[in-house]
Amino acid sequence: MPFKFIHITDTHLANPGLKLYGLDPRARLDAAIADINKHQSDAAFAVVTGDLTHWGEPESYANFADAMAALKIPYIAMVGNHDKRVACLDGLKAAPRDSNGFVQGTRITEHGLFVFLDTLDETSHAGEMCAKRLGWLASTLAAAPADMPFVVFMHHPPFPVGVHAMDEISLKQSPEFAEVIAPYRSRIRHLFFGHVHRPIFGSYGKIPFSTLRGTNHQVWFELDAAAAEHLASHEPPAYGVVLIDGENLVVHSHDFLDESLRFPFEPPAGVDGRGYALNIPAR
């Protein structure tokens, strides 16, 4: 059996009872957790790649912690641009903390060292990796055994993804980040990030990457910087299921609220395949 973990991103929890963009972020997160508990409880852990809360208030972290307490597997909580570092660290034991007080840490797994980065700049929605955070990353990667692979997690993408409004608030220190990871590129099996609220996958240099829809609202697909207004959307939410073995790393994006019809490919016994019409109840 491959090693399995869960990727959740951009939960954007508000204080209890508050809706966000017409949706209930707590109910959405509860639904994701219930689905994970029911179908993915053999996963080793979950990683939540930031924007845990929308306004960074202590009550919102308490709301997040209360929801996540129902999750049957451990989790790691990371910060995004909507978060507040002190409130996050005070409210969540699942948030790692480095020696400089940033929300950064690592976890050893049977498939290498998982590295969790803090790209929060509390004065901007763009991402930041200051000299201290980059220094921590450099020393963390350097300290690992030479044959150990890495899996890296961060909230902001360190390169443009083409969704113009989000590219304007990606990681500001892309060149510096690229320089720090340069000696280790061949050992980074995958880069996971959040922030963009869209399913996007590809490669960053030769490093495979993926990101997901958030569990509340989404960002509308728009590549045209000249024509386009920056729009959010109610496209369906998702979480990711990641399977790793010695050769492959596979990411599934699961629309956990989807209620569309499921049916066997083959018609029931005795029914002519050419006459196999699904009896779809009217909604």
Q: Which residues bind Fe ion (CB under 5 A)?
A: 10, 51, 80-81, 195
- Helix, strand and coil content of the chain, in percent to the nearest 5, comes to 25, 25, 55
CB of 164 to Fe ion, least distance (A): 15
CB of 216 to Fe ion, least distance (A): 8
3 or 221: CB nearest Fe ion: 221
Nearest residue to Fe ion by CB is 51
Residue among 27, 16, 18 nearest 256 (CA): 27
Residue among 57, 58, 55, 67 nearest 28 (CA): 67
7 or 195: CB nearest Fe ion: 195
3 or 220: CB nearest Fe ion: 220
Q: Report the alpha-carbon angle 210-215-216, nearest 5.
A: 130
CB of 85 to Fe ion, least distance (A): 14
Report the alpha-carbon distance of residue 37 to residue 128 in Å, rounded.
34
Residue among 106, 139, 103, 99 nearest 122 (CA): 103
CB of 147 to Fe ion, least distance (A): 34
184 or 239: CB nearest Fe ion: 239
